[in-house]
Amino acid sequence: MVSCKDNKAETKTETTEKQGKEYTSVYVCPMHCKDSGSDKEGKCDTCGMTLVKNEDHKANGHKHE
């Protein structure tokens, strides 16, 4: 009998890793440099790339359309 691998542990790790400012801010670095997120447009302090609008940003626990 063949079955698929249980990926629950991998999913949990991925979710935990994406909790930082570089993933949760309104504007984020395309390279997701550590602590690079911001609430306004600008440049990443680490790599100098222009911050981009975070399409997955949620304010107060919900997503604004």
User: pLDDT, tens digit, for every residue of 5-29?
Assistant: 665 555 554 555 677 888 889 999 9
Q: What is the pTM of this model?
A: 0.60
Whether residue 7 is contained in a domain is answered as no
Give, for 38, the enclosing helix (H) or strand (E): none
The 3-state DSSP class for residue 22 equals helix
Q: What's the number of domains the chain is made of?
A: 1
Domain membership of residue 29 as a residue range: 22-56
Count of CB atoms situated within 10 Å of the CB of 27: 18
Residue 29 CB burial class (10 angstroms; 0-12, 13-18, ≥19) = buried
Whether residue 14 is contained in a domain is answered as no
Q: What pLDDT score does 9 carry?
A: 56
Whether residue 52 is contained in a domain is answered as yes
- pLDDT bin (cut points 50, 70, 90) of residue 58 is confident
Q: What pLDDT score does 1 carry?
A: 62
